[in-house]
Amino acid sequence: MRLWRRPAPEPPASTRVTDGPVLEFTEVSLTYPGPLPVAALRSATFSVHRGEYVTIVGRSGSGKSTLLNIIGLLDRPTTGTYRLDGIDTGLLGDWQMAALRARRIGFVFQAFHLMPHRTAVENVSLAMLYTGARGAARLRAAHDALEKVGLGHRRDALPTQMSGGERQRVAIARALAAQPSLLLCDEPTGNLDTESADLVLHLIDELRKDGLTVLMITHDESVASRGDHTVRIVDGRLIDPRVVDRPAAVI
Ligand code: ADP
Ligand code: MG
Whole-structure pTM value: 0.87
Binding site membership of 110 for ligand 1 (Cβ less than 6 Å): no
What distance in Å separates the CA atoms of residue 32 and residue 25, rounded to the nearest whole number? 19
Rounded Cα gap, residues 104 and 52, in angstroms: 16
- The verdict on the CB of residue 114 being under 6 Å from ligand 1 is no
Integer Cα distance of 75 and 177 in angstroms: 24
Question: Which of the listed residues 29, 31, 38 should we mutate to test ligand 1's pocket, taking the one with most ligand atoms within 8 A of CB?
Answer: 38
The Cα angle at residue 183 between residues 179 and 189, in degrees rounded to 5: 130
Distance between CA 141 and CA 77 in Å, rounded?
A: 34
Interval 193-239: pLDDT, tens: 999 999 999 999 999 999 999 999 999 999 999 999 999 999 999 99
Distance set, CA 17 to CA 11, 22, 30 (Å) = 10, 9, 28
* Contact present, 173 and 146 (Cβ < 8 Å): yes
Per-residue pLDDT tens over the stretch 87-140: 999 999 999 999 899 889 999 998 999 999 999 999 999 988 877 778 899 999
Q: How many CB atoms lie within 10 A of CB 74?
A: 14
Pairing of strands 182-186, 105-108: parallel
